[in-house]
Amino acid sequence: MSAASPAVDREAILAWYGERRRDLPWRRTRDPYRILVSEVMLQQTQVARVVPYYETFLARFPDEAALASAPAADVLRLWSGLGYNRRALALQAAARIVARDGWPRDVAGLRLLPGIGPYTAAAVASFAFGLEVAAVDTNVRRVIARLDRRERTPAQLEQRAAALLAPGRAADWNQAMMELGATVCGPRAPLCDACPAATCRSRGRPAVAASGRARGVGRTSVRIRFEDSDRFVRGRIVAALAAGEAVPDGFEPVRLERALAGLERDGLVVREGASVRLP
Ligand code: SF4
């Protein structure tokens, strides 16, 4: 497939990344633990929100051993406000395995750690261990779809991402593609005039295939306000407990019970009679 795909000027994209990249704290390290913490925090959360949490978290838990031995309640207290609190417990479970067994050195091994999917495993393998693997997130999928202006199945897109890797510079290339998607080739209005991808087939044309998904597999979604979601109630409960307060009132009893039951099931709270606390 790659032989028939359009040429991409890797050197120009890498040079642009070298000049324009944002100075993010996780780009200054090759420590797998620090990279994993950043990647887990960045799942579902914007960069600007993650930076202060990342720094506070690492000040308290500087390595996998510190995180592994901490009470889960302390971990959740530091995570509270970042959202998707289950990520914190999965990260701690991964830290416990790594503290005991050492770091897996390949993507397959990394994927066995709790909370680590294909993208996160590839990111850690590439950024920490220098493996020549493509880390394909939403941004990268969108950029590749536009560069080639071609519909692909997810498997074909993974193949194309692997074929595009800059030999010997996989980590920089992965970062460059993500940076391009995050800062220039955004979902709605790509800034083609500021883009180094001179050979892009979508340059100055309406964007296509933003998700990189195959035709016909998209889903119809119904938006509900965040304040009306169970996730909102769950977040409020964990934030209150993390601050040493009681479970907040003001929610419908059925909704509150549903949220508490879900939190208990996920190991995020412990209920003893009428009392509720962090684990
Ligand atoms: S030229 Fe435009 S569409 Fe193509 S990668 Fe750059 S920003 Fe995206």
CB of 8 shorter than 6 A to ligand 1: no
Residue 57 near residue 37 (C-beta atoms within 8 A): yes
d(CA 69, CA 267): 17
Residue 65 is predicted with a pLDDT of: 98
With cut-offs at 50, 70 and 90, classify the pLDDT of residue 128.
very high
Identified catalytic residue from 11, 39, 64, 257:
39
Residue 95 near residue 131 (C-beta atoms within 8 A): no
Element (H, E) at 275: strand 275-277
Q: What is residue 271's three-state secondary structure?
A: strand
Q: How many CB atoms lie within 10 A of CB 253?
A: 8
CB of 135 shorter than 6 A to ligand 1: no
Q: Looking at ligand 1, which atom is closest to the CA of residue 184?
A: 7
Distances in whole angstroms, Cα of residue 139 to Cα of each of 78, 133, 144, 181, 233? 28, 16, 9, 5, 30
Residue 85 is predicted with a pLDDT of: 94
Residue 155 near residue 183 (C-beta atoms within 8 A): no
d(CA 15, CA 169): 12
Q: Looking at ligand 1, which atom is closest to the CA of residue 195?
A: 6
Q: What is residue 249's three-state secondary structure?
A: coil
Residue 210 near residue 188 (C-beta atoms within 8 A): no
Residue 171 near residue 165 (C-beta atoms within 8 A): no
CA of 150 to the centre of ligand 1 (A): 14
**Model confidence pLDDT, tens digit, residues 165-209:** 999 999 999 999 999 999 999 998 899 999 999 999 999 886 654
Determine the average pLDDT of the residues in 234-253: 90
Specify the residue with its C-alpha closest to ligand 1, atom 8.
185
Mutate to test the pocket of ligand 1, among 191, 202, 205, 208 (most ligand atoms within 8 A of CB): 202
Q: How many CB atoms lie within 10 A of CB 23?
A: 6
CB of 203 shorter than 6 A to ligand 1: yes
Residue 229 is predicted with a pLDDT of: 83
CA of 146 to the centre of ligand 1 (A): 6
Average pLDDT over all residues of the chain: 90
> Residue 186 is encoded by which pair of tokens?
């955004």
Determine the average pLDDT of the residues in 113-127: 97
CA of 210 to the centre of ligand 1 (A): 11
> Residue 46 is encoded by which pair of tokens?
């914007």
Q: Looking at ligand 1, which atom is closest to the CA of residue 207?
A: 3
Percent of the chain with pLDDT over 90: 78
Is 245 an annotated catalytic residue?
no
Residue 213 is predicted with a pLDDT of: 39
d(CA 112, CA 77): 26
Residue 231 is predicted with a pLDDT of: 87
Domains, in order of start, for the chain: 1-20+135-213 (1.10.1670.10), 31-127 (1.10.340.30), 226-277 (no CATH)
Determine the average pLDDT of the residues in 246-268: 91
> Residue 155 is encoded by which pair of tokens?
């498997």
